[in-house]
Amino acid sequence: MEEKEAFSWGGIEPLCMVRRVLRQLPAIIAGGLIGALCAWMAMTGLYHPSYTASTTLAVSVKSSSYSSVLSNLSMSAEIAETFTTLFESNVFDSLAAELIGEATLPGELSAMVIPETNLLVLTVTADRPDTAFRTLKLVLENYDSVSDQMFQNVILKQLDSPRVPTAPSNPLNRGRTVKLAAIGGAGAVAALVVLLTLWADTVQNTTGLRHKVDAREFGVIFHESKNKTLRTKLRRTNKGLLVTMPVASFRFTETMYKLGVKLGYAAKNSGYQVILVTSVAENEGKSTVAANLALTLAQQGKKVLLLDADMHKAAQYKILSHNPRVELADVLAGKAEYAPEYLGTHKLYVLLSKQGSRQAAEQIASERMGQLLKKARAEMDFVIIDSPPIALFSDVEYLADQADASLLVVRQDFVPAARINDAADLLRGCKSELLGCILNDVRTTPFFSESRRYGYGYGYGYGYGYGGYGGYGGYGYRRHSRTGDEENRETENGNG
């Protein structure tokens, strides 16, 4: 296999990043909740409340009258600042502790001068409210004996009585911290999702297809909803979208007709008659691509047989809304004769599956399958085979050997490019020719849209449970409008 570039900024589709973030929204929310919980637990474990009791003291001089002290605020303020230093010193702590009979003062004592006054605010902070209150009361009851030893001419007059604190002096703002932690946790998970999207090895646009996949681009089909009203979406009225349905937009039908014409031209130049349509995994849209290619070829006046060879999980009977009278499994088991049904509304011959078969792999590789395809070649202009996914079943290898050409349907941002390359190598190793990849269910953002290069695009999606990928469906379509020079080059190469 040719070595392909692993990463290219041009291969990143912004809308794929947004869709991945939205798909991981539960994980992002969980990250936010975990961040908030961790913050709450950390605050609960590390937080130690403290309580502060306070009182206000007026500083005056014994030899002065009260009025003279008020008239000389500068001197009183200086004395108050001196007492602030005294109260906060280790000397006062030792003296006060000795007076109350404790080795150390049970709390942190501090003092603050109110600017432009002779007022001193004395506070005690402790880990319990009663301890703070009791310590402050003991200091106030004994500060005279302490101050007499330090300043004999200074008087401290208590202006208010201390109270037992009712709330911590260092309240914890848990709400704000928890919110910030929740935002941080959610943001970290979202950033991880974005990083993984940037380095994801999936095909997100045609640039990524050219850089990562060792197969040519056969066409691009953009996304369009098959159920376009809320009522039809809730009821899931349409199981698939066909070019013959009224809900199919003009642009969607033009996209499919263009691919049908391109396939018919390639078949005419190379003599292809049996075309295999497959995908790496389920839920990539191969069944609807096969059905619409068959319809567009039939509407060109060709006699076309649509063969649903995916007997593990049949889909064509749902897409065409037709219950088969004869199933492919019965024909291969010898229980019924080869007799394709003609659907007049579609001008299409079909041989469908519905119930499936536990011996699907053996029946596909049986001699009867080879005889069936031989009869179909003799009677039909084209045989379109809807095969099982390559990654899940081995039936594809036998079918690819029986077919003349194959198409690989690749859904946007779905399967790693390495697996797509493995599938392309497998198809190239078979007898049929790999015509290329159809990039399916492509969604783009307006400012980064590839639809400007391709003209316009639509698609559709549907799904029902099946195996590890959640069911077949989720298909999208989009017109691939090329320039005249590109069409001329493809015509010269025999792939118009």
pLDDT of 444 > 60? The answer is yes
pLDDT of 77 > 70? The answer is no
Rounded Cα–Cα distance for residues 71 and 82 (Å): 19
14 and 139: one domain? no
Let me know if 422 is exposed, middle or buried by CB neighbors in 10 A (0-12, 13-18, 19+): middle
- Of the candidates 266, 282, 229, the one whose C-alpha atom is nearest the C-alpha of residue 434 is 266
In a domain, 194, yes or no: yes
In a domain, 166, yes or no: no
Domain hosting 18: range is: 8-47+174-200
* Number of C-beta neighbours around residue 101 at 10 A: 7
**Which amino acid would we find at residue 36?**
A
Looking at residue 481, its pLDDT comes to 36
178 and 213: one domain? no
- Mean pLDDT, the chain, rounded, equals 79
225 and 183: one domain? no
pLDDT of 297 > 90? The answer is yes
378 and 468: one domain? yes
What is the Cα 212 distance to its own chain's centre?
22
3-class DSSP state of 336: coil
Contact 316, 386 (CB under 8 A): yes
In a domain, 398, yes or no: yes
431 and 287: one domain? yes
Rounded Cα–Cα distance for residues 40 and 282 (Å): 44
245 and 394: one domain? yes
Domain termination residue (choose one: 104, 124, 158): 158
Looking at residue 120, its pLDDT comes to 81
In a domain, 237, yes or no: yes
Domains of the chain: total: 3
Q: Please report which confidence band the pLDDT of residue 154 belongs to, taking 50, 70 and 90 as the band edges.
A: low
Q: What does the buried/exposed string (b/e) look like for 337-367 if buried means 16 or more CB atoms within 10 Å of the residue's CB?
A: eeebeebeebbbbbbbbbeebeebbebbbbe
Contact 455, 220 (CB under 8 A): no
Strand duo 405-411 + 274-279: pairing: parallel
List, for residues 376-427, the tens digit of each pLDDT value.
999 999 999 999 999 888 889 999 999 999 999 999 989 999 999 999 999 9
In a domain, 164, yes or no: no
- Of the candidates 349, 275, 351, 362, the one whose C-alpha atom is nearest the C-alpha of residue 312 is 362
**Residue 495 to residues 263, 435, 488, Cα–Cα distance (Å):** 8, 9, 10
H helices within 72-173, ranges in order?
A: 73-87, 90-99, 129-150
**Residue 223 to residues 255, 321, 390, 458, Cα–Cα distance (Å):** 11, 22, 23, 4
441 and 332: one domain? yes
233 and 279: one domain? yes
**Residue 41 to residues 37, 45, 47, 178, 339, Cα–Cα distance (Å):** 6, 6, 10, 10, 72
Least confident among 15-29, 139-153, 198-212, 343-357: 139-153
374 and 407: one domain? yes
182 and 227: one domain? no
Q: Which two tokens stand for residue 395?
A: 């039936």
In a domain, 168, yes or no: no
Looking at residue 58, its pLDDT comes to 82
Q: Tell me, what CATH number does 285's domain have?
A: 3.40.50.300
Domain termination residue (choose one: 130, 158, 186): 158
At residue 295, what are phi and psi to the nearest 5 degrees?
-65, -45
Q: Which two tokens stand for residue 162?
A: 């201390």
Q: Which two tokens stand for residue 44?
A: 């609960």
Query: Does pTM surpass 0.75?
Result: no
List, for residues 109-141, the tens digit of each pLDDT value.
787 888 877 788 888 898 889 888 888 887 777
Rounded Cα–Cα distance for residues 69 and 476 (Å): 91
Q: State the maximum Cα–Cα separation within the chain, in Å, rounded to a whole number.
A: 131
Looking at residue 233, its pLDDT comes to 65
In a domain, 3, yes or no: no
List, for residues 260-285, the tens digit of each pLDDT value.
999 999 998 899 999 999 999 988 99
132 and 29: one domain? no
Least confident among 219-233, 426-440, 461-475: 461-475
Let me know if 442 is exposed, middle or buried by CB neighbors in 10 A (0-12, 13-18, 19+): buried
When pLDDT is averaged across residues 326-330 and rounded to a whole number, the result is 91
Looking at residue 59, its pLDDT comes to 76
268 and 195: one domain? no
At residue 206, what are phi and psi to the nearest 5 degrees?
-65, -30
Looking at residue 75, its pLDDT comes to 59
When pLDDT is averaged across residues 186-208 and rounded to a whole number, the result is 87
In a domain, 455, yes or no: yes
